[in-house]
Amino acid sequence: MPVIAAAAAAHATRRRAASNGVGFWHSTYLGANRYRPDPGGPPPQGALYPMAFLVEQDADQTVGAHFHQADQFQVMVAGEGTLGRHEVAPVTVHFTGAYSPYGPIRAGADGVTYFTLRNGWDPGARYMPGARAELPRPRTYREAVAPPLALPHGAIRAGTPDAIPVLTAEPDGLAAWRYRLGAGAALTGPDPAAGAGQYWLVLGGRLDHDGTALAPLSLLFVTPEEAGLAATAGPEGLDVLALQFPRHTDRS
Q: What are the sequence ranges of the domains in the chain?
A: 3-146, 164-244
Segment 189-222, tens digit of pLDDT: 999 999 999 999 999 999 999 999 999 999 999 9
Q: How far apart are CA 181 and CA 162, in angstroms?
A: 9
How would residue 251 be classed by pLDDT, with cut points 50, 70 and 90? very low
Q: How far apart are CA 84 and CA 104, in angstroms?
A: 5
Cis omega (within 30 of 0) for bond into 224:
no
- The reply to whether domains 3-146 and 164-244 share a CATH topology is yes
Least confident segment among 4-18, 55-69, 138-152, 235-249: 138-152
Nearest Cα neighbor of 1 from 243, 215, 213, 222 is 222
Q: Which fold has domain 3-146?
A: Jelly Rolls (2.60.120)
Q: What's the whole-number average pLDDT of the chain?
A: 91
CATH class name, domain 164-244: mainly beta
User: Could you give the 3-state DSSP secondary structure of residue 8?
Assistant: helix
- Please say if the pLDDT value at position 141 is more than 70: yes
pLDDT given at position 120: 95
Write the DSSP symbol of residue 228.
P
Q: How far apart are CA 118 and CA 199, in angstroms?
A: 9
Compute CA distances 90 → 85, 198, 234, whole Å: 16, 20, 22
Compute CA distances 66 → 28, 55, 99, 127, whole Å: 21, 16, 9, 4
More confident residue, 216 or 39: 216
